[in-house]
Amino acid sequence: MSGITNGMAQKIREDDDLYQVLFESSEIATVIAERDGTILRVNKRFLELSGYRRSDLTGKRKWSEFVVNGDLTKMTRYHDFLDHDASVPAHTYEFKLAVRDGSVRDVEILRQPIAGTKRTAIHFVDISDLMRVGKKVISSEEKYRSLIESTDDSVYMIDREGTYLFVNRQVLARLRVTEANIIGKRYSDFHDAEDTMEFSGYLEKVFETGSSHRYEHRSGKGGERWMLRTLSPIVEGRTGQVRFVAVVSKEITDLKKTEEKLKYLSLHDPLTNLYNRAYFEEEMHRLDNNRFDIVGLIMCDIDGLKLVNDTLGHDRGDDLLTVASQVIRKSFRESDVVARVGGDEFAILLPNSPRSKVEEICARIRTSVVAYNKKNPRLPLGISTGFAIRTGPGQSMAELYREADNAMYKEKLFGSQHARNVIVKNLLNTIETKGITTKQSLKRLRQLVTVLGREAGLPEKRLKDLALLAQFHDIGNISIHDRILLKPDSLTEDELLEVRKHCDIGHRIAQSAASLTPIADYILKHHEWWDGSGYPLGLTGEEIPLESRIMAIADAYESMTGGRPHRRAVSRGEALKELRRCAGTQFDPNLVKKFVKIVA
């Protein structure tokens, strides 16, 4: 009997040793605990996981002490987890384990009651690496989701049948639907037949080719909305087959409008809105290779534009160009190519237009100009025209252009000078209207210069030029602002500099009008001083033309006795006294003596 007993004891010891070896060699960290949680045994893997020594744990610590504070609260909700009743099935929960070095590990804890005892086996599986990967995946998904939701573009995923599988908030906003009302429904449920057909075609291409496709779609009742749609395949990694298609729909309405505007500007003149030279030359090239045998070409040129730009400024010149373009445009059909091909030049192409038709149009332009000038006499419009007709394909459009241009310049030789003379006359009338001078003042001035000129021995022809100078010597004042010319107070230094420009401007005006060309040089120099301190050239003595010296004395006398906005009129005696004082500095002393003798 004792032998049997000894044999059983031996067997039990061997089993215990086997279980101990299995317990210690297990790759799962395990703790054997009493019902109150006190640790009885720990295996090697738990020691490695926790960082503690065996002597620190067995009989001294409870396993629940290693669960990080905060998770203990979570544990209390699972009473069955702490129950050591063997009849309760095993449970698994995720917790955080406090390690000896102060760090924390994510673990999955399996509590397993040991049958026939009041003890429990607690297994700890380290899932820290798995949790980190999971968090990264979740974070990555959140980032991509946030990116998709924050964009202004519509983003959605669709299958081969056009069924919506995913949409972002922009899709919902643009289609005015909820997510529940669109997921599972088809593209055709929310778009018209034409749009659906176009979209389906590109969708099928993506499934067939496995490549992305992009296209522009115009929508809206008036086609006022443009969308750029990019369809990209979502491929099954294992099979390489396209499973779904991701669509990014970007609104490009503003971009298309900008493109259209740039295209318009590339073909049109921004000031007149007529076609520009680039487009005109394109059309000429097209007509060179076209079936039209008969082609009319009309050239137009604005008379006196440079004069207006030089005297009244480029803004007024632009106004004149705009008016001219409107007069010209109204004389032609909508389909005719009317272009501004130079600063003051316009050209018109007239396919299938015989000579009689072209002559009729030129006459219509002249009639329109006359009608405009009757209503706008202060700044008249002058347009010189010329035309040429191609009657067969043998003549190039470049040759036709030169022929029309030459014809236009022949007319301009006769008409342009008249137009400039009219403009100059109107400029003088404008000066009088503004109150800068008066007809009475000009009349007195002509008398004074004529008398002094005769006393100085000038022949009759030069006396006539001198009388003309009296009338137009200050015509450059047309370009000086009224607030300066009519200022009642003394002029500032800057204002004086502005006023001094009138000599140069008047010179340019006189040069542009044939009737004033002989006195242009006198206008330029009539504010030069005898001692060289005048303007604009600083001439001295007899370097100054005699006519300009005579004009300076007479103008000063008339200015003093007639008064100016910034200076009261003085008596004849006071004016003569001032002339004598300035003789030899501002004025020719010999001419001053003659003038004083005449007037006194």
Q: What is the CATH number of the domain that holds 352?
A: 3.30.70.270
Which of 196, 226, 256 marks a domain boundary?
A: 256
Alpha helices, H only, 121-192: 128-150, 169-175
- Between the ranges 16-30, 127-141, 459-473, where is the mean pLDDT highest? 459-473
pTM for this predicted structure:
0.55
- Cβ atoms 260, 251 nearer than 8 A: no
Q: Mean per-residue pLDDT for 543-552?
A: 94
Number of domains in the chain: 4
Q: Does the pLDDT value for residue 239 go beyond 50?
A: yes
Max distance between CA atoms of the chain, in angstroms, equals 175
pLDDT band at 205 (very low <50, low <70, confident <90, very high): very high
Q: Does the pLDDT value for residue 581 go beyond 90?
A: yes
In a domain, 3, yes or no: no
In a domain, 238, yes or no: yes
- Cβ atoms 162, 200 nearer than 8 A: yes
Q: Specify the higher pLDDT residue, 279 or 223.
A: 279
**pLDDT of amino acid 139:** 54
In a domain, 330, yes or no: yes
360 shares its domain with 227: no
- Cβ atoms 181, 226 nearer than 8 A: no
439 shares its domain with 402: no
Phi/psi class of residue 217: alpha, beta or left (left: φ > 0; alpha: ψ in -120 to 50)?
beta
Which of 202, 224, 256 marks a domain boundary?
A: 256
**pLDDT of amino acid 505:** 84
251 shares its domain with 281: no
53 shares its domain with 104: yes
Q: Mean per-residue pLDDT for 382-392?
A: 88
Residue 95's beta-bridge partner residues?
107
- Contacting residues for 19 by C-beta, under 8 A, at least 6 apart: none
Residue 217's beta-bridge partner residues?
227
CB atoms closer than 10 angstroms to residue 61 = 18
Query: Which position has the token pair 């370009």?
Result: 479
Distance, CA of 213 to CA of 260 (rounded, Å): 24
218 shares its domain with 282: no
Averaged pLDDT score across all residues of the chain: 83
Q: What is the DSSP letter of 244?
A: E
pLDDT band at 547 (very low <50, low <70, confident <90, very high): very high
Alpha helices, H only, 276-331: 277-288, 305-312, 314-330
Q: What is the DSSP letter of 27?
A: S
In a domain, 21, yes or no: yes
**pLDDT of amino acid 79:** 47
100 shares its domain with 181: no
- Cβ atoms 226, 217 nearer than 8 A: yes
416 shares its domain with 473: no
Which of 132, 165, 191 marks a domain boundary?
A: 132
Indicate if the alpha-carbon torsion angle 35, 40, 41, 46 is positive or negative. Answer: positive
- CATH number of the domain bearing residue 173: 3.30.450.20
**pLDDT of amino acid 258:** 82
Query: Which position has the token pair 């100078």?
Result: 469
518 shares its domain with 563: yes
287 shares its domain with 406: yes
In a domain, 184, yes or no: yes
**pLDDT of amino acid 199:** 94
443 shares its domain with 592: yes
Distance, CA of 392 to CA of 452 (rounded, Å): 67
State whether residue 87 is helix, strand or coil.
coil
pLDDT band at 84 (very low <50, low <70, confident <90, very high): very low
Q: Does the pLDDT value for residue 423 go beyond 70?
A: no
34 shares its domain with 95: yes
Task: State percent of the chain over pLDDT 70.
Answer: 84
Distance, CA of 545 to CA of 527 (rounded, Å): 11
pLDDT band at 349 (very low <50, low <70, confident <90, very high): very high
Distance, CA of 244 to CA of 228 (rounded, Å): 19
C-alpha distances (whole Å) from 594 to each of 443, 456, 464, 589 are 20, 8, 20, 9
pLDDT band at 432 (very low <50, low <70, confident <90, very high): low
Q: Mean per-residue pLDDT for 524-542?
A: 93
Residue 87's beta-bridge partner residues?
none
**pLDDT of amino acid 36:** 83
Tokens found for residue 192: 């018209």
**pLDDT of amino acid 276:** 93
Domain with 409 in it: 272-426
Distance, CA of 527 to CA of 223 (rounded, Å): 66
- Contacting residues for 242 by C-beta, under 8 A, at least 6 apart: 206, 207, 210, 233, 234, 235, 236
**pLDDT of amino acid 92:** 64
State whether residue 576 is helix, strand or coil.
helix
Q: Mean per-residue pLDDT for 178-199?
A: 92
Q: Does the pLDDT value for residue 291 go beyond 70?
A: no
- CATH number of the domain bearing residue 485: 1.10.3210.10
**pLDDT of amino acid 10:** 57
In a domain, 142, yes or no: no
Give 570's Cβ-side CA count (13 Å radius): 15
Q: Does the pLDDT value for residue 568 go beyond 70?
A: yes
Classify residue 346 by burial, with Cβ atoms within 10 Å: 0-12, 13-18, 19+: buried
Q: Does the pLDDT value for residue 433 go beyond 70?
A: no
Q: Does the pLDDT value for residue 370 go beyond 60?
A: yes
Peptide bond into 459 cis (omega under 30): no
Least confident of 18-22, 69-73, 120-124, 348-352: 69-73
**pLDDT of amino acid 412:** 79
Q: Mean per-residue pLDDT for 364-371?
A: 91
584 shares its domain with 449: yes
Least confident of 267-271, 311-315, 362-366, 545-549: 311-315
